[in-house]
Amino acid sequence: MSEQQTTPASDEAPAYEQARDELVEVVRRLETGGITLEESLALWERGERLAVVCEQWLDGARARLDAAVNADREGALRED
């Protein structure tokens, strides 16, 4: 699997940690309240986009780990 397939598609997508931290802040602001409905909707939409970015990063990391484990297993089988 290529590097491009293991990270979010957009060149403008934030790093995992940045997206996660911003998502935490979005949730905090939504839970705190005191904002307009329009602001709440905008935050919710931003949170949804950030969650997708985080999921893409995690899926990519999982795929890379699976590939590494499978390569190790295949190497071990060839040595036997």
Cα 29 to the center of its chain, rounded Å: 20
Asked if 29 and 35 count as a contact pair (C-beta separation under 8 A), the reply is yes
Asked if 47 and 26 count as a contact pair (C-beta separation under 8 A), the reply is yes
What does the domain layout of the chain look like in residue ranges? 15-79
Q: What percent of the chain has pLDDT over 90?
A: 71
pLDDT tens digits, 22-60: 999 999 999 999 999 999 999 999 999 999 999 999 999
Question: Cα dihedral sign for 64, 70, 73, 75?
Answer: negative
Residue at 30: amino acid letter: L
Q: Is the pTM of this model over 0.85?
A: no
